[in-house]
Structure 1
Amino acid sequence: MANRAGSTHVLVWGTSVLALSLGGASLGRAQSAPAQQPQAPRAEQAKPDAPKPAKRRTAKRQPAPQPTEAVRNANAQAGSSNVQTLDTITVSASKTEERAIDALAPVSVVTAGQIQGLQPNRVGDVLRTLPGVSLQDRGDDASTSVNIRGLQDFGRVAVLVDGARQNYQRTGHNANGSFFLDPELIGGIDVVRGPTSNIYGSGAIGGLVSFRTKDIEDVLRPGERWGVDLGGTVKSNGFGGVGSMFGGIRVDPTLDVFGGAVYRNQGNYKDGAGTEIGNTGNELAAGMLKVTTRPADGHTVKIGGIFQDYNYTIGQLNRGSTTTSAPPALLAGTSVYDSNAKNYTGTINWRYSKPDDNLFDWNATLYANRTENDQVKTYNNRITVGGFPPACTLANPGNNISGCVGDNRSYLLNTAGIDLNNTSRFAIGEWRNALTYGVDGFLDNVSTFDKSGNSNVTTPSGQRTVSGAFVQWKANYSTWLEVIGAARYDRYKLESGGTTSSGDRLSPKITVGITPVPGFTPYVSYAEGYRAPSITETLIFGTHSTGGGPIFFNCPDGNSGLFCFLRNPNLRPEVGKNKEIGVNLKYDGIFTAGDSFRAKLNVFRNDIDDYIDLVASPPEPSLFFGIPSSKYYQYQNITNARIQGFEGEISYDAGSWFAAVAGNVMEGKNTATNIGLATLIQPKKVVSTAGLRFLDRRLTVSAQWISFASNTDVPASYIPATSGDIVNLYLAYQPTADITLNFSIDNIANRYYRPYAIPGPSADGQTVNDILWTSPGPGITYKGGLKVHFGGA
């Protein structure tokens, strides 16, 4: 493993933060509090777009805030209360507060309680249960790559952590876009599918994943001035566990301090076939700190910082002879790297909102994110000390793709951004109107260093500036009609090595929903999204090295190798044009006084103009005995790609028992060739959950079945994914209000599954086996966890 000193520093820092936070508190006997029950939202939350009633302004000191409905729901889920997650407040679809079930958009919400119950090892364990969402995670890589509706890579899915964009990307045998975030830090997740969330920022033609990290409301209970949550989980199958501590104090009604620390460690896991997946062990240390002030009535300023330090090893050992230049494909491994990834996220958020102010309700966020991934080569998959040109020696073997043993490489992305928006509310007759307008932008600065390998070519350094402005009108007429109209203007500029590229566009959105009878709201929507090409797609240029094998072609950059990358400064941005028909269903008291039924169903078709894909030139005779092969690879615009399907999310909660079904049916094609897209599309997925509550709802037993079909409609050069049927069992018990026990068994049938297609054999008969070996998920895994709460007035 890489240097572990950073892990110790993070834990010491996080513990010191908590000690400082709690130092002034009265550490009297902790007071037990019952599990919180859901409360009716305040009028502004229930009808966020109604004009606020006029009140005389006062200068009185603002009292300590009460938890929002979203936070109350999250806390209740961790206990035994009957709460529908689709009733949670979200702002992700329209930047105005509304319940997820009322949003005229395909929105899903995950609460902190659900995350705790799942005891996830990585974020993908949570997101894979949502309709239209899939993952392309490698077992030996600690980062996460999200796919929504068959779209991923290069920012097609916008990922936000407390409002900060996560744009990290490196090109290799992995997804072209990922982020680092431990699930123990998360307080809630909002997922919006499709470009209906275009006002949230540029690029999200696939959708939006917005993470809220934990805050003081996730720990403190009503009436408490200070509180601490201690948690721990252990697991089998790559034995390991996680320990965490989060705590905060309300210093006075105008100041909150909150902090936390997380440590996670695990070994290599086995897949459902019993094969140990090499280098799937990893270690994480993380810390966070948030300070919230209320300098004046209606104003809230929050300053937050998160630091994560991951140590892991990526790559796979050779399973065959190390003295053979080209061992059989099923035996060949890859080079192996000790990796240290550090992620820093800092945010400053200023929110102003008062019930008697209809003109201003604004939110301003400044953020910076830094991801640095330093890697040292520790193993070469086979002896290739010769090569063209000779690169390494027998003492430190390697190749000219990734360098020699002992060489280092690094990937660095610095992102800085701003998001400003305001909502003004007014009424005209029976029409209640909310006008939201704002600007946003970010700057990506990519820096790649590879001492003697190929990463400088495949992940070029450079800068990207993306900015935009939007306006949205949201109107409600009486109780039965809602209309949302929006327009967003985007512009971008790329710069690298003296080459530049730029562009701009105006993207519209219109949504109309009606509620002819209470509880039944159908809607139609049309939204366009605009994704600027990335630095890699536009400016990649150079030779793909041979790895010590034969030279196939001489390339324009003056080097020789397997093939040549060509830059494309004329690459056009992608434009997603999404059509959607949906229905929201919301009924209470159907069979019993306390039951509830929620459903969000929708069909969609997203036509993507100028879809960007890596295109190979027609095969031609190579320098190696004239073997036909593609000489050039270039990112090019495909005239049109089409992704369409159905999504559904249904839940029923009767208090003593509950059941839910979520899933999708989907397909995606290059309409010019009628061939499936070389991307992660799960054609069919169904996630079924059912459970029972006992002992006054302090004990919950549930089961989950995740079933997905294999996507066989992929280009001929890809190996299709497998189908999968994964059954998980969960038990949560709250013997007292301050103690929660969780037990689970994941993949109880020990099924083998590989959820996404992988590249097939290349021209020399080799398969990209680091993906072949690391794409299967874990087999049967047992987990047990404990959370203890302390707090006082």
Structure 2
Amino acid sequence: MANGARGAHALLWGVSAIALCFSGVSEATAQAREPDAAQAAPSTQDTKQKNAKRSKKRQQIVAQAPDQSALNANAQAQGSVQSLDTITVAATKMEERAVDALAPVSVVTLEQIQRWQPNRVGDLLYNVPGVWLQDRGDDPATSINIRGLQDFGRVAVVVDGARQNYQRSGHSANGAFFLDPELISNIEVVRGPTANIYGSGAIGGVVSFRTKDIDDVVRPGERWGSDWGIMGGTNDMRGMVSGFGGVRVNPNVDLFAGGSWTTQSNYKDGMGVTVENSANKTGSAIAKATVRPADGHELKLGGIFQDFDYDNGQPRRALGLPFSQPGTGGNGTSIYATNVKNYQTSLGWRYQRPEDQIFDWDAKVYWNRTESDQVKIAHTATTPAFGTACARRGLPGNAISGCIGDWRSYLIDTIGFDAHNTSRFEHGSWRHALTYGGDIFQDDVSTADFSGNSNATTPGGRRTVSGAFAQWKVGYATWFDLISAVRYDNYHLSSANTTTEGDRFSPKVTFALLPTYVVTPYVSYAEGYRAPSVTETLVDGAHVASGPGQGDTSVCADGSRGFFCFLPNPHLRPEVGKNKEIGLNVKKDDLFTAGDTLRAKFNVFRNDVSDFIDGVQFAGPPGRNLYFQYQNIAHARIEGFEAEVFYDANLWFVGVSATIQRGENVQTGIGLVTVQPRKITTTAGVRMFENQLTLAMQWTSVEANTDIPATYLAGTSYDLLNAYLTYKPHRDITVNFSVDNILDEYYRPYAVPRAADFTSTQNDVLWSSAAPGRVFKLGARFHFGGA
């Protein structure tokens, strides 16, 4: 089907679903003028009395609200839970439902995670508005793009509050993290710098992962519980086993532990071609201990260990296979046997009592380490590069990527602390919530390469980033809410040869009308500040080439030769994002029938990023040399529209997630390569046999970005059709069956860099970026528990 027709059909279906939801907006609009009886504005005579009642009710919300993880763990037994009704704290650090947040917030629940049976984290996020992935098949790491921004901390990724700052230079994204999806209980996504109070650098947004805990396996009324899972799949083979258990030792002590093991063979893309080195094995373990030493106080100590084994890189593809090219250049890369270990430890202290309006704090200290060890097992040529140490040793290889059999390693340690408190008070019809706090983290990067130069292209160094914020939320009766905030950021980056630092104040303000009504419009302005990373500032050395006469026409300052030379840039300025947003939240129960629910969030935004940092290729002296350097682009602009709508009629449901956006370098008028123009996901399903059986279909239609620099090959437009079946024959047994990519379509979700000559593509990315073809998956989950 042609891209235009495909996009038109996707848009038609999406608009139709939205129109279905808004066929009841006339009723909602009428009620916007006059609230529900339970929410009617107080009369003059009893204003104080009702304000007091409202204050007491607000104080009791947290205490009375059921734990969302417990709801998610039992969602299939009790019927579906609206994901936009899930409690979130990512936008304002205050507990609120996602649909009520005055920010573009989306939530992925445990019920959805188990239904989708993900093979990697990206499987859980690709249909979230504004979110894209730049993953490789030969690397289990995940790289998240929000509203066209990614890499180097533009999207702050946190796991149980701990920053994930792993990044390594290569042909893939320069910002990724490792996380076993079986450990995840909940995901919160905030798009844009509106969550600037959450942490430094997040001009693109925040993705917060909460891992499983005791409430996910011990049901209400149980003292102990355990959940066990198993899953198998095709294309060609994949499997998973997991087990998690917890016990409430007494009302004040909880213990939880578990883990999983996953394996996958090389998969085939939609053309039936095997994506080499897409096989991997993953093992993970998690443990948590929770102690409540006094009323309202909770201490939680947690630890995570993960181990990933895989081969990274692509061999030369034989002639006749798709995308093969004659000759030597660009037909594969070195291959490395890779082991990645991730360690995370955190200690949190939470205090919360409904009657205490002065103190409501959350503090956490954490340590996160990712270490990658690689051994080179294959080279692009069978002979060593002339005049190199590899030649003297008689081993295939070169001075850039090293010799076969040699090792290289990369290690990043992140230590951080985060604390904040919320104080609440009221007078008359005014409500106030003052949230204030601070955070600091330090990245310590060290690299080593026995015979190559990856310690130059991914340089070691230390970066310290700190900040503090204050946020004031004020509401007047049922008329409006106003959120104003300011954040202060400071960074210091140092290495053996370079020291750089900077700081800035970033404001935020949001205004919403009728916050308790069916329809809540709001406007927002927020700024974000991102410090340059170690790699952007210090990267140096030559890009790999095979040897003299094989494209190594550039001679770098250290005497090495390559396709081009990386240049450090210690004068990089921090990026500043300035985001303008108009939003609309919609929530209505009993819209058409008793018990049905409508939830929707709409956003129009424009993010102007000054001093945007991007990689630039250029020629320099001597004239035959090519260089690559991270430089500040004066102005980049990204703007678009997002929608998330879900209607649940109990026996059936339908939802639409849509993103339409564009981004460009304002100076050149050329589009930004990381900005995808359109994505529309439509989900529909039915429930049968008193919710024992759920059938769902999901269709995602994506338009590729072709407005990109000539040094990139555009990704593909595609349609992705998935089907899901969940059967619950017993409250303790759940069977999941799914089919991913039913149409067996070949697709590459993102643009692929071209080589330095601007003609041939970097084929390893071209081949490894292709997603799997059709996959059948069958899984089962079992619960055991007792009082």
- Per the normalisation by structure 1, the TM-score is 0.89
1:747 maps to what in 2?
Answer: 741
- Per-residue deviation, residues 566-598 of structure 1 (Å, max 9, x unmatched): 221111000000000010000110111110001
1:768 maps to what in 2?
Answer: 762
Per the alignment, in what secondary structure is the counterpart of residue 494 of structure 2? strand
C-alpha contact 1:67 1:217 (8 A) present in aligned 2: no
- Per-residue deviation, residues 100-124 of structure 1 (Å, max 9, x unmatched): 0000000000000100000000000
Per the alignment, in what secondary structure is the counterpart of residue 333 of structure 2? coil
* Separation (CA, whole Å) in 2 of partners of 1:659 and 1:773: 35
C-alpha contact 1:225 1:249 (8 A) present in aligned 2: yes
C-alpha contact 2:612 2:633 (8 A) present in aligned 1: yes
Per the alignment, in what secondary structure is the counterpart of residue 439 of structure 1? strand
Per the alignment, in what secondary structure is the counterpart of residue 433 of structure 2? strand
Cα deviation for residue 399 of structure 1 reads: 1.8
Cα deviation for residue 400 of structure 1 reads: 2.0
* Separation (CA, whole Å) in 2 of partners of 1:144 and 1:229: 26
AA of the residue aligned to 1:229: D
AA of the residue aligned to 1:263: W
1:543 to 2:542 alignment: yes
2:574 maps to what in 1?
Answer: 573
* Separation (CA, whole Å) in 1 of partners of 2:292 and 2:229: 30
Cα deviation for residue 68 of structure 1 reads: 3.7
Provide the alpha-carbon RMSD of the alignment: 2.1
1:43 maps to what in 2?
Answer: none
* Separation (CA, whole Å) in 2 of partners of 1:189 and 1:377: 36
Cα deviation for residue 621 of structure 1 reads: 6.7
C-alpha contact 1:543 1:562 (8 A) present in aligned 2: yes
1:312 maps to what in 2?
Answer: 310
Residue in structure 2 matching 1:640, options 635, 640, 643:
635
* Separation (CA, whole Å) in 2 of partners of 1:541 and 1:507: 32
* Separation (CA, whole Å) in 1 of partners of 2:128 and 2:639: 17
1:482 to 2:477 alignment: no
Residue correspondence of structure 1 range 78-157 to structure 2 within 5 A? 78-157=76-155
Cα deviation for residue 480 of structure 1 reads: 2.4
Structure number with the higher helix fraction is 2
Cα deviation for residue 702 of structure 1 reads: 0.6
Runs of 4+ in 1 over 6 A off after TM superposition: none
Per the alignment, in what secondary structure is the counterpart of residue 217 of structure 1? helix
1:667 to 2:662 alignment: yes
* Separation (CA, whole Å) in 1 of partners of 2:130 and 2:681: 11
2:255 maps to what in 1?
Answer: 257
- Per-residue deviation, residues 403-435 of structure 1 (Å, max 9, x unmatched): 111011111000000001000001122111000
* Separation (CA, whole Å) in 1 of partners of 2:688 and 2:645: 23
Shift in CA distance, 228/256, structure 1 to aligned 2, threshold 3 Å: same
* Separation (CA, whole Å) in 2 of partners of 1:480 and 1:582: 17
Residue correspondence of structure 1 range 326-337 to structure 2 within 5 A? 328=327, 332-337=331-336
- Per-residue deviation, residues 346-368 of structure 1 (Å, max 9, x unmatched): 11010001111111000000000
- Per-residue deviation, residues 85-104 of structure 1 (Å, max 9, x unmatched): 10010000000000000000
AA of the residue aligned to 2:598: F
Per the alignment, in what secondary structure is the counterpart of residue 536 of structure 1? helix
* Separation (CA, whole Å) in 2 of partners of 1:509 and 1:134: 25
C-alpha contact 1:329 1:766 (8 A) present in aligned 2: no
* Separation (CA, whole Å) in 1 of partners of 2:64 and 2:281: 36
1:290 maps to what in 2?
Answer: 288
Note the residue ranges of structure 2 that are not aligned, 5 or more in a row: 1-37, 39-50, 320-324
* Separation (CA, whole Å) in 2 of partners of 1:134 and 1:54: 37
1:198 maps to what in 2?
Answer: 196
C-alpha contact 1:387 1:546 (8 A) present in aligned 2: no
Shift in CA distance, 689/393, structure 1 to aligned 2, threshold 3 Å: farther
Cα deviation for residue 177 of structure 1 reads: 0.4
Cα deviation for residue 760 of structure 1 reads: 1.8
Shift in CA distance, 80/298, structure 1 to aligned 2, threshold 3 Å: closer
2:346 maps to what in 1?
Answer: 347
1:615 maps to what in 2?
Answer: 616
Per the alignment, in what secondary structure is the counterpart of residue 631 of structure 1? strand
Cα deviation for residue 330 of structure 1 reads: 8.9
C-alpha contact 2:381 2:546 (8 A) present in aligned 1: no
Residue in structure 1 matching 2:722, options 728, 731, 740:
728
Query: Once structures 1 and 2 are overlaid, which stretch shifts more, 423-432 or 645-654?
Result: 423-432
1:684 maps to what in 2?
Answer: 678
Shift in CA distance, 699/764, structure 1 to aligned 2, threshold 3 Å: closer
Shift in CA distance, 88/748, structure 1 to aligned 2, threshold 3 Å: same
C-alpha contact 1:702 1:729 (8 A) present in aligned 2: yes
Cα deviation for residue 661 of structure 1 reads: 0.3
- Per-residue deviation, residues 489-543 of structure 1 (Å, max 9, x unmatched): 0000111123101000000000000118821000000000000000011112233
Cα deviation for residue 53 of structure 1 reads: 8.0
C-alpha contact 2:291 2:298 (8 A) present in aligned 1: yes
C-alpha contact 1:51 1:425 (8 A) present in aligned 2: no
1:61 maps to what in 2?
Answer: none
Residue correspondence of structure 1 range 360-439 to structure 2 within 5 A? 360-387=359-386, 389=388, 391-392=390-391, 395-439=394-438
Per the alignment, in what secondary structure is the counterpart of residue 527 of structure 1? strand
* Separation (CA, whole Å) in 1 of partners of 2:197 and 2:417: 14
- Per-residue deviation, residues 692-731 of structure 1 (Å, max 9, x unmatched): 0001011100100011001101101100000110110100
* Separation (CA, whole Å) in 2 of partners of 1:554 and 1:122: 40
Aligned pairs, how many? 728
* Separation (CA, whole Å) in 2 of partners of 1:303 and 1:593: 44
* Separation (CA, whole Å) in 1 of partners of 2:541 and 2:394: 29
Per the alignment, in what secondary structure is the counterpart of residue 676 of structure 1? coil
C-alpha contact 1:328 1:766 (8 A) present in aligned 2: no
Shift in CA distance, 591/765, structure 1 to aligned 2, threshold 3 Å: closer
AA of the residue aligned to 2:143: S
C-alpha contact 2:185 2:212 (8 A) present in aligned 1: yes
* Separation (CA, whole Å) in 1 of partners of 2:313 and 2:562: 22
Per the alignment, in what secondary structure is the counterpart of residue 158 of structure 1? strand
Per the alignment, in what secondary structure is the counterpart of residue 101 of structure 1? helix
AA of the residue aligned to 1:611: F
* Separation (CA, whole Å) in 2 of partners of 1:378 and 1:54: 61
1:697 maps to what in 2?
Answer: 691
Note the residue ranges of structure 1 that are not aligned, 5 or more in a row: 1-39, 41-46, 56-64, 623-627
Cα deviation for residue 72 of structure 1 reads: 3.7
Cα deviation for residue 391 of structure 1 reads: 3.1
1:554 maps to what in 2?
Answer: 555
Cα deviation for residue 383 of structure 1 reads: 2.8
* Separation (CA, whole Å) in 1 of partners of 2:607 and 2:491: 23
* Separation (CA, whole Å) in 2 of partners of 1:750 and 1:619: 46
- Per-residue deviation, residues 52-110 of structure 1 (Å, max 9, x unmatched): 5899xxxxxxxxx9984422431243445142110010000000000000000000000
Query: Once structures 1 and 2 are overlaid, which stretch shifts more, 259-268 or 68-77?
Result: 68-77
- Per-residue deviation, residues 618-672 of structure 1 (Å, max 9, x unmatched): 46775xxxxx5x5322211000000000000000000000000001001110000
Per the alignment, in what secondary structure is the counterpart of residue 782 of structure 2? strand
C-alpha contact 2:70 2:219 (8 A) present in aligned 1: no
* Separation (CA, whole Å) in 2 of partners of 1:212 and 1:538: 32
Residue in structure 2 matching 1:658, options 653, 656, 660:
653
Residue in structure 2 matching 1:216, options 189, 206, 214:
214
* Separation (CA, whole Å) in 2 of partners of 1:367 and 1:116: 28
* Separation (CA, whole Å) in 2 of partners of 1:395 and 1:720: 40
* Separation (CA, whole Å) in 2 of partners of 1:555 and 1:102: 55
Per the alignment, in what secondary structure is the counterpart of residue 448 of structure 2? strand
1:782 maps to what in 2?
Answer: 776
* Separation (CA, whole Å) in 1 of partners of 2:318 and 2:774: 28
- Per-residue deviation, residues 223-280 of structure 1 (Å, max 9, x unmatched): 0000010111100003021000000000000100000010000100000110010010
Cα deviation for residue 615 of structure 1 reads: 1.4
1:8 maps to what in 2?
Answer: none
C-alpha contact 2:385 2:397 (8 A) present in aligned 1: no
Cα deviation for residue 452 of structure 1 reads: 1.2
Percent identity at matched positions? 57
1:13 maps to what in 2?
Answer: none
AA of the residue aligned to 2:310: Y
Per the alignment, in what secondary structure is the counterpart of residue 392 of structure 1? helix
